[in-house]
A and B are shown apart, each in its own frame.
Chain A
Amino acid sequence: MGEMEELRKEADNLKDQITEARKVVQDTTLQEAVAGTTLVGRVQLKTRKTLRGHLAKIYAMHWGTDTNCSKLCVSASQDGKLIVWDTLTTNKVNAIPLKSSWVMTCAYAPSGNMVACGGLDNMCSIYNLKGKDGNVKVMRELAAHTGYLSCCRFLNDSEIITSSGDCTCILWDIETGTEKTIFAGHLGDCMSLAVSPDFKMFISGACDFTAKLWDIREATCRQTFSGHESDINAIGFFPNGNAVITGSDDATCKLYDLRADQELITYQDSGIMCGVTSLAASLSGRLLLAGYDDFNVNIWDMLKAERVGVLAGHDNRVSCIGVSSDGMACCTGSWDSFLKIWN
Chain B
Amino acid sequence: MAQTNSYRQSSNGVADESPNMLVYRKMEDVIAHMQDETNGIPVRTVKSFLSKIPSVFSGKIHFFIVTVKRLEALHLGTLMAAHGYFFPISDHVLTLKDDGTFYRFQTPYFWPSNCWEPENTDYAVYLCKRTMQNKARLELADYEAESLARLQRAFARKWEFIFMQAEAQAKVDKKRDKIERKILDSQERAFWDVHRPVPGCVNTTEADIKKSSRMKQPHKTRKSVYGLQNDIQSHSPAHTPAPEVKEPTEEEIRDQIQHWQAQLDRHRLKMSKVAESLLSYTGQYVEYDPFFTSPEPSNPWISDDITVWELETSKEPGQQRVKRWGFGINEVLKDPVGREQFLKFLESEFSSENLRFWLAVQEVKKRPIREVPTRVQEIWQEFLAPGAPSAINVDSKSYDKTTQNVKDPGRYAFEDAQEHIYKLMKSDSYSRFLRSTFYQELLQAKKKVNNCTYHCSNNPSRTG
Which residues of A does B touch, CB under 8 Å? 3-4, 7-8, 10-11, 14-15, 17-18, 21-22, 24-30, 33-34, 37, 40, 43, 45, 48-49, 66, 68-69, 88, 102, 104, 119-120, 146-148, 150, 156-158, 165-167, 173, 175-176, 185, 187-189, 191, 197-198, 207-209, 217, 220-224, 226-231, 238-240, 242-243, 249-251, 257, 259-262, 264, 266, 268, 270-271, 273-275, 277, 282-287, 293-296, 302-303, 312, 315-316, 319, 326-329, 335, 341, 343
Chain B residues whose CB sits within 8 angstroms of the CB of A286 once the complex forms? 282, 285-286, 289, 292
- 8 Å CB contact of A156 from B13, B289, B290, B365: B365
Closest residue of B by beta carbon distance from A336? B202
B156 CB within 8 Å of chain A? no
Chain B, range 168-213, C-beta contacts under 8 Å to A: 202, 206, 208-211, 213
- For the A-B complex with A274-B79, A294-B75 known, give 11 more contacts whose Cβ atoms are closer than 8 Å: A102-B209, A148-B213, A189-B210, A217-B415, A226-B5, A240-B281, A257-B269, A261-B263, A270-B68, A284-B281, A284-B292
Closest residue of A by beta carbon distance from B415? A217
Known: A33-B276, A285-B282. A69 touches B259 (CB 8 A): no
Chain B residues whose CB sits within 8 angstroms of the CB of A303 once the complex forms? 278-279, 282
Closest residue of B by beta carbon distance from A3? B250
Closest Cβ of chain A: how far from B338's Cβ, in Å? 15
Once the chains are docked, how many angstroms separate the CA of A238 from the CA of B281?
A: 10
Q: Which of these binds chain A: B21-29, B48-56, B393-401?
A: B21-29
- Contact: B210 with A239, CB < 8 Å? no
Known: A158-B369, A175-B370. A251 touches B209 (CB 8 A): no
Closest residue of A by beta carbon distance from B301? A48
21 contacts between A and B (CB under 8 A): A7-B250, A17-B264, A68-B313, A69-B310, A120-B209, A158-B369, A188-B9, A188-B13, A189-B214, A191-B210, A228-B5, A231-B211, A270-B67, A273-B27, A282-B292, A283-B288, A283-B290, A284-B284, A326-B309, A327-B289, A329-B301
List the count of A-B residue pairs having beta carbons below 8 Å apart: 260
Known: A27-B272, A48-B302. A15 touches B415 (CB 8 A): no
* Interchain residue pairs A-B with the least CB separation, the first 7: A33-B275, A284-B289, A284-B285, A14-B260, A156-B366, A259-B269, A69-B309
Once the chains are docked, how many angstroms separate the CA of A64 from the CA of B113?
A: 41
Chain A residues whose CB sits within 8 angstroms of the CB of B237 once the complex forms? 102, 120
B312 CB within 8 Å of chain A? yes
- 8 Å CB contact of B270 from A146, A175, A260, A316: A260
Once the chains are docked, how many angstroms separate the CA of A315 from the CA of B299?
A: 27
- 8 Å CB contact of A249 from B22, B281, B295, B412: B22
Chain B, range 321-362, C-beta contacts under 8 Å to A: 330
B109 CB within 8 Å of chain A? no
- Contact: B274 with A257, CB < 8 Å? yes
Q: Which among B257, B274, B288, B366 has the greatest number of chain A C-beta atoms within 10 A?
A: B274
- 8 Å CB contact of B300 from A88, A167, A207: A88
- 8 Å CB contact of A328 from B15, B211, B299: B299
Once the chains are docked, how many angstroms separate the CA of A79 from the CA of B304?
A: 31
B291 CB within 8 Å of chain A? yes
Once the chains are docked, how many angstroms separate the CA of A337 from the CA of B460?
A: 53
- Contact: B281 with A33, CB < 8 Å? no
Chain B, range 1-58, C-beta contacts under 8 Å to A: 1, 3-9, 13, 15, 19, 22-23, 26-27
Once the chains are docked, how many angstroms separate the CA of A328 from the CA of B291?
A: 7
Which residues of B does A touch, CB under 8 Å? 1, 3-9, 13, 15, 19, 22-23, 26-27, 67-68, 72, 75-76, 79, 202, 206, 208-211, 213-214, 237-238, 243, 245, 250, 253-257, 259-264, 266, 268-279, 281-282, 284-286, 288-292, 295, 299-302, 304, 306, 309-310, 312-313, 330, 365-370, 412, 415
- 8 Å CB contact of B290 from A10, A240, A326: A326
Once the chains are docked, how many angstroms separate the CA of A49 from the CA of B276?
A: 37
Chain A residues whose CB sits within 8 angstroms of the CB of B415 once the complex forms? 217
Closest Cβ of chain B: how far from A335's Cβ, in Å? 8
- Contact: B299 with A27, CB < 8 Å? no
Once the chains are docked, how many angstroms separate the CA of A3 from the CA of B187?
A: 57
Once the chains are docked, how many angstroms separate the CA of A40 from the CA of B210?
A: 35
Q: Which among A43, A175, A209, A230 has the greatest number of chain B C-beta atoms within 10 A?
A: A230
Chain A residues whose CB sits within 8 angstroms of the CB of B3 once the complex forms? 227
- Contact: B263 with A343, CB < 8 Å? no
Closest Cβ of chain A: how far from B307's Cβ, in Å? 10
Chain A residues whose CB sits within 8 angstroms of the CB of B15 once the complex forms? 207
Chain A residues whose CB sits within 8 angstroms of the CB of B255 once the complex forms? 185
- Contact: B214 with A207, CB < 8 Å? yes
Closest Cβ of chain B: how far from A163's Cβ, in Å? 11
- 8 Å CB contact of B271 from A26, A146, A188: A26
- Contact: A158 with B282, CB < 8 Å? no
- Contact: B13 with A229, CB < 8 Å? no
Q: Which among A14, A29, A147, A266 has the greatest number of chain B C-beta atoms within 10 A?
A: A14
Closest Cβ of chain A: how far from B271's Cβ, in Å? 5
- Contact: B264 with A260, CB < 8 Å? no
